[in-house]
Amino acid sequence: MILSDLSVRRPVFATVISLLLVILGLAAMMRLPVRQYPDVDRPVVSVEVTYRGASAEVVETKVTQVIEDAVAGIEGVEKLTSSSADERADIRLEFNMERDIDAAANDVRDRVSRVVDQLPTEADPPEIAKADSSSQSIMFLNLQSDRMNGMEITDFADRYMVDRFSTVAGVARVRISGARRYAMRIWLDREALAARALTVSDIESALRAENVELPAGRLESESREFTLRTDTGFASADDFRALVIGRGADGQLVRLAEVADVRVGAENERSAARSNGEPAVSLAIEQLSKANSVLVSKAVRAELENVQKDLPEGMTVSVNYDRSTFIEASMDEVYKALGIALALVLVVIFVFLGSFRVMLIPAVVVPVSVVATFIVMGAMGYTINILTLLGLVLAIGLVVDDAIVVLENIYRRVEEGEKPLLAALDGSKEIGFAVIATTLVLIAVFVPLSFIEGDIGRLFREFGITLAAAVMFSSIVALTLTPMLCSKILSGRKLKKGLALKVDQFFNGLTALYRSVLSKTLKRPGWVALAALLVSIGAVALLRALPAEYAPNEDRGAFWVFMRAPEGSTLHYTDRLTRDMEAVVAAEMGEGPDKPVARYLTRVPGGWGSADVSTSRVIVLLKDWDERDDGDIAVAARINAGLANIPGARAFGRTSRALGVGGGGTPIEMVLGGPDYEALKEWRDAMLARMEEMPELLDPDSDFQERKPQMNISVDRDRAGTLGVSLSAVGRTLETMLGSRIVTTYVDRGREYNVVLQGQDSDRASTEDLTNLYVRSALTGDLVPLSNLVSIDEVAGPGQLNRFDRMRSIKLSADLAPGVKLGEAIDALNAVADETLPASARISWDGESEDFLESGFSLYITFGLALVIVFLVLSAQFESFVNPMIILVTVPLALSGALVGLWFMGGSINVFSQIGAILLIGLSAKNGVLIVEFANQLRDRGEDIRKAVLDASAVRLRPILMTSACTTFGALPLLLATGAGSEAREPIGVVIVFGVTISALLTLFAVPALYLLFAKNTRSPQHVSKIVDRLRGAVPGDGQGAEENPAGAV
């Protein structure tokens, strides 16, 4: 090899190459950003509209569909979903990865602005954000004060903190959880209004007419000019109380205080928030959909330090929850695994060679190869994340392989008496082809990971390219630095002494034993081939038996507990049940590792901006992983057992899965799409009935619940017209008295606050209160009781209406029964849907189910693609189609070992184990390459095929065992992983450790036997070149070489 020859002859040149790789790698590493996973988040833009007092049906028709129609044609939209609930519409647009989020948000703003005039005038302006409206906050900052009440704390946060944190890089928005915003609350007394012949419309008109601030022009003299300002706006409760709203029968002034209770209060009293059971106000930090969680968290913490200096006396702000804690903890665990893997690999090399001096060679080579990998990562715009670090952990065992193969070959020659300098030259040249072959095979396996479709492909693209780069640099270093170091370190001394001598004697004995057993085995190669076939068939059966899922459960140090009270429950009733739920969680708090809960955060209602007070949510935060005995699944199971004893509510805890899956949704999410909700309800009922009978599923449910108590108010249009009462007057009266209505604003200390009209609590407690209201006749001016105009029917209706890709939809959800994996459940549910639903029903999948279906098939395609590419690469290298087939027999043997490992460890077929299986193609094939390549060399030297394969196998035994042991021990920290994120690392560790170990043992017998059976007519890659050389050197016309077959056998 030219490169190895040059490096041995010019050692400074080889040193400079490695130093340049290290310097450039360190420079690139210093500039690489850090995040949990590669940037695979699709750009998401959400549109939120609040329409106070409107039902879900009205919101869907008047708001949601209007906005959906406007934004549907925007370029790059992959998924359009919406939710219409009482008083609120949420529209979510998910774009493809190539779409710039700023451009997408601008397009959405442009489209929405065109239809704003078509929205109801009572609806708030649409809020457009570059974030998912249903996304989970990455941080909660808890505000406490011993001198302020909830409204004062909220006002301080709104004035001085929200804007400061909103400007932090990567923050999409800051919401106040448990907010008690100031508002001028005007509680109308309907009896007092009726006694003074006043209506709700009179109050609204007076407020709008009198609470104004208008410009009054200016005064101009010859030398001075004054701007005039009319001070007519209201600024305090007393100003509002003194507002004249009419005249009595005898002409006296009627003021607002006579018909209403006017005071400064909380704008929204239909919510509650607590921290560890105590009332709390928190700042919820939401990141941009493409932002880096770790960087956002650090930036927020830095800003928090600045904010602390300006806090009023008695107030404290602390971080109550930080999602990046898990990210940083899991990355620390990977860093530890990286160091342990390097140490284990060096120990393995020392054990196999028995010489500390010889071990120094790979000890230098490994860091050079790993650090050089950052050059490619920087050039590709990658990040330092859990998956790229995971790739580097695996790379520790791979990059040392090339160095071991070269080192062992040179070491063997030196021990046989060859001069170290010549041994370095000839040994590296002899093994150079095998090094390049195994490198290309591994690269051919890793690169196809980039072609996986969907989120999984984007996730593991950096993983595959990182591994490929590490292997590429390892071959460069193995053919430059390793031969040069061997020529220096192995020179002038006898290596076989002490431990090295004992190790050498052990391997000599092991080689002799292996040669003897292999010699007997090669007498019946057909039986070996049959055994390999049976092992492969067993692997297929085991593959079918193992459960399948998208991603394993992952202990993230936090999980969610959700509760749903009966539809129509009041805030008071829901809050009482929520306190019972808090008591169950609080029972897990305390000192010691058997009390795993550190704190918990509670919110009623469960969703942001939701008017449905029948839901609540608790975020349960656990202690650090080394401070508790149980994982999140065990803790959630105990809490769920306690929640089952709470009567009158459905409560459950849900944990997260790896790759950020879970935490809010169930594993099973099937979406039924149809033309109208009536048909969808029939399909839903039929499916839920079947799902209840399925043993694979637990707690089947749907997001369409028509159990919310409602009252339909029908207006007699003829009578209203006869009496001169408009329908708008009826509707606004009901909205104001029974709901609430923002009619104007007032300014206090430079900040604008809402003025909210609402009926008193006692005036909206029963159906009779609906009719004891009055409106004014436009014909006579007299008051007309609503009881003369309306009729009331009590019904049950849905609290939320959902749409999926512009179709009305109902989502069916369910948890998995114990021991059941996602793949089994989806297959069973598909079969049930085929039997139950008509052809007109559109079935879609969402959440984890969608990710599983999208990734599973593409991973199998990638596996096949990797096999084909490796076969073609090997065919090109060996100039044969037979040799690659022999080498690739190692793949099913390795997969058999991996599947046995998963079965033994109680694992499953998931994204991580499938990625590990793809890696096994290259890891197992390299052992076969070492045997077949050397057997071809020996045959070129004149040995017959049986002796050649026997000698090649015996000579390559030690490097095969060494490289396999290095790969196995390099992945061992993943198999034995503990701490944050260990659940994601373990499957790859299981697959690599068991697959490589069993593959190495079986390969030592299967490859020689198959080579003896099928490679008799193969030739070396140089066969045709040698014939050409002989033909060119032959005397013209003498016919020499005419008998040769220039093509050779393949």
* Same structural domain, 516 and 419: yes
Collapsed DSSP state (helix, strand, coil) of residue 1044: coil
Let me know: does 548 contact 856? Beta carbons within 8 Å: yes
Mean pLDDT across the chain, nearest whole number?
A: 78
On the question of pLDDT at 261 being above 60, the answer is: yes
Sheet with 171-177: strands ordered across: 171-177, 281-287, 139-145, 315-322
Integer CA distances (angstroms), 313 to 309, 317, 693, 698, 918, in order:
10, 12, 61, 52, 60
Is residue 988 assigned to a domain? Answer: yes
Overall domain count for the chain: 4
Q: What is the pLDDT of residues 331-355, one digit of tens each?
A: 777 778 778 877 887 787 777 766 6
Is residue 791 assigned to a domain? Answer: yes
* Same structural domain, 978 and 864: yes
Q: Residues near 824 by Cβ (< 8 Å), separated by ≥ 6?
A: 547, 548, 696
Is residue 918 assigned to a domain? Answer: yes
- Give the pLDDT band (50/70/90) at residue 894: confident
- Averaged pLDDT, 811-831: 81
**Portion of the chain with pLDDT greater than 70, in percent:** 87
Q: Residues near 110 by Cβ (< 8 Å), separated by ≥ 6?
A: none
- Give the pLDDT band (50/70/90) at residue 710: low
Q: Check residue 305 and give its pLDDT.
A: 87
Q: What is the CATH number of the domain that holds 546?
A: 1.20.1640.10
Q: What is the pLDDT of residues 449-493, one digit of tens each?
A: 666 666 667 777 777 788 888 888 888 887 888 778 777 777 545
- Averaged pLDDT, 516-528: 78
- Helices and strands, number each (H, E), in the chain: 33, 31
Q: What is the pLDDT of residues 905-947, one digit of tens each?
A: 777 777 777 777 777 777 777 777 777 777 777 777 777 778 8
Q: What is the pLDDT of residues 119-160, one digit of tens each?
A: 887 788 888 887 654 456 788 888 888 788 888 888 888 888
- Give the pLDDT band (50/70/90) at residue 522: confident
Which range marks the domain in which residue 564 is found? 557-655
Q: Check residue 133 and give its pLDDT.
A: 47
Among the residues of 663-784, which ranges form H helices? Answer: 677-693, 717-723, 727-738, 768-771
Comparison of pLDDT for 620 and 53, the residue scoring more: 620
| Rounded Cα–Cα distance for residues 8 and 1 (Å) | 11
User: 130 burial class (0-12, 13-18, 19+ CB within 10 angstroms)?
Assistant: buried
* Same structural domain, 606 and 518: no
* Same structural domain, 465 and 588: no
Is residue 371 assigned to a domain? Answer: yes
Calculate ∠ Cα 813-816-818, nearest 5°.
Answer: 160
- Give the pLDDT band (50/70/90) at residue 365: confident
Is residue 683 assigned to a domain? Answer: no
Q: Check residue 709 and give its pLDDT.
A: 63
| Rounded Cα–Cα distance for residues 876 and 868 (Å) | 12
Q: Check residue 72 and give its pLDDT.
A: 82
Let me know: does 163 contact 313? Beta carbons within 8 Å: no
Q: Answer positive or negative: Cα dihedral of 973, 977, 980, 986.
A: positive
Q: Check residue 452 and give its pLDDT.
A: 67
* Same structural domain, 580 and 531: no
Q: Check residue 204 and give its pLDDT.
A: 85
The set of long-range contacts for 506-512, using a CB threshold of 8 Å and a minimum separation of 24, is 507/352, 507/957, 507/958, 510/957, 511/954, 511/957, 511/958
Amino acid identity of residue 333, one-letter, is E
Q: Answer positive or negative: Cα dihedral of 525, 527, 533, 535.
A: negative
Comparison of pLDDT for 1041 and 71, the residue scoring more: 71
pTM strictly above 0.75: no
Residue whose token pair is 């140490």: 343
Choose among 845, 855, 876: nearest CA to 81. Answer: 845
Choose among 400, 316, 315, 319: nearest CA to 362. Answer: 400
Is residue 157 assigned to a domain? Answer: no
Among the residues of 416-498, which ranges form H helices? Answer: 420-446, 454-478, 481-489
* Same structural domain, 334 and 470: yes
On the question of pLDDT at 197 being above 50, the answer is: yes
Q: Check residue 489 and give its pLDDT.
A: 76
**Residues 257-274 as b or e (16 or more Cβ within 10 Å = b):** bbbbebeebbbeeebbbb
Collapsed DSSP state (helix, strand, coil) of residue 498: coil
- Averaged pLDDT, 209-229: 77
Dihedrals phi, psi of 183, to nearest 5 degrees: -160, 155
| Rounded Cα–Cα distance for residues 503 and 27 (Å) | 41
Let me know: does 684 contact 704? Beta carbons within 8 Å: yes
* Same structural domain, 356 and 444: yes
Q: What is the pLDDT of residues 932-988, one digit of tens each?
A: 777 777 777 777 778 887 888 887 777 788 778 877 887 787 777 776 767 777 888
Q: What is the CATH number of the domain that holds 101?
A: 3.30.70.1430
On the question of pLDDT at 1034 being above 50, the answer is: yes
Let me know: does 755 contact 183? Beta carbons within 8 Å: yes
* Same structural domain, 477 and 590: no
Q: Check residue 453 and give its pLDDT.
A: 64
| Rounded Cα–Cα distance for residues 409 and 1 (Å) | 14
Dihedrals phi, psi of 339, to nearest 5 degrees: -65, -40
Q: Check residue 1042 and give its pLDDT.
A: 40
- Give the pLDDT band (50/70/90) at residue 51: confident
Q: Answer positive or negative: Cα dihedral of 532, 538, 544, 549.
A: negative
At 893, list the tokens. 């043997």
Q: Check residue 2 and give its pLDDT.
A: 67
Q: Residues near 51 by Cβ (< 8 Å), separated by ≥ 6?
A: 58, 59, 62, 63, 87, 88, 89, 120, 122, 123, 124
Q: Which of 631, 655, 679 is the last residue of a domain?
A: 655
Cα-based torsion angle of the residue sequence 430, 431, 437, 438 in order, rounded to the nearest 10 degrees: 170
Q: Check residue 661 and give its pLDDT.
A: 47
* Same structural domain, 17 and 56: no
Q: Check residue 1044 and give its pLDDT.
A: 42
Q: Which of 655, 672, 696 is the last residue of a domain?
A: 655
Q: What is the pLDDT of residues 35-46, one digit of tens each?
A: 777 766 678 888
Q: Which of 129, 161, 193 is the last residue of a domain?
A: 129
Collapsed DSSP state (helix, strand, coil) of residue 608: coil
* Same structural domain, 757 and 885: no
* Same structural domain, 27 and 98: no
Q: Count CB neighbours of 480 within 10 A.
A: 28
Q: Check residue 665 and give its pLDDT.
A: 62
* Same structural domain, 31 and 50: no
- Give the pLDDT band (50/70/90) at residue 1009: confident
On the question of pLDDT at 747 being above 60, the answer is: yes
Let me know: does 589 contact 595? Beta carbons within 8 Å: yes
| Rounded Cα–Cα distance for residues 917 and 905 (Å) | 16
- Give the pLDDT band (50/70/90) at residue 501: low
Q: What is the pLDDT of residues 86-130, one digit of tens each?
A: 778 888 888 877 788 888 888 888 888 888 888 887 788 888 887
Choose among 466, 410, 408, 403: nearest CA to 18. Answer: 403
At 770, list the tokens. 């609906």
Collapsed DSSP state (helix, strand, coil) of residue 795: strand
Q: What is the CATH number of the domain that holds 739?
A: 3.30.2090.10
Q: Name the region of 237 (left: φ>0; alpha: ψ -120 to 50; beta: rest).
A: alpha
Let me know: does 424 contact 361? Beta carbons within 8 Å: no
Q: In the beta sheet, which residues pair with residue 559? A: 620
| Rounded Cα–Cα distance for residues 271 and 615 (Å) | 11
Pairing of strands 751-759, 182-188: parallel
Is residue 310 assigned to a domain? Answer: no
**Portion of the chain with pLDDT greater than 90, in percent:** 0
Q: Residues near 381 by Cβ (< 8 Å), separated by ≥ 6?
A: none
Let me know: does 963 contact 926? Beta carbons within 8 Å: yes
- Give the pLDDT band (50/70/90) at residue 794: low
Is residue 457 assigned to a domain? Answer: yes
Q: Where are the beta strands (DSSP E) in 692-820?
A: 697-702, 708-715, 741-748, 751-759, 774-776, 783-785, 790-797, 800-804, 807-816
Let me know: does 48 contact 57? Beta carbons within 8 Å: no
Helix (H) or strand (E) holding 244: strand 244-247
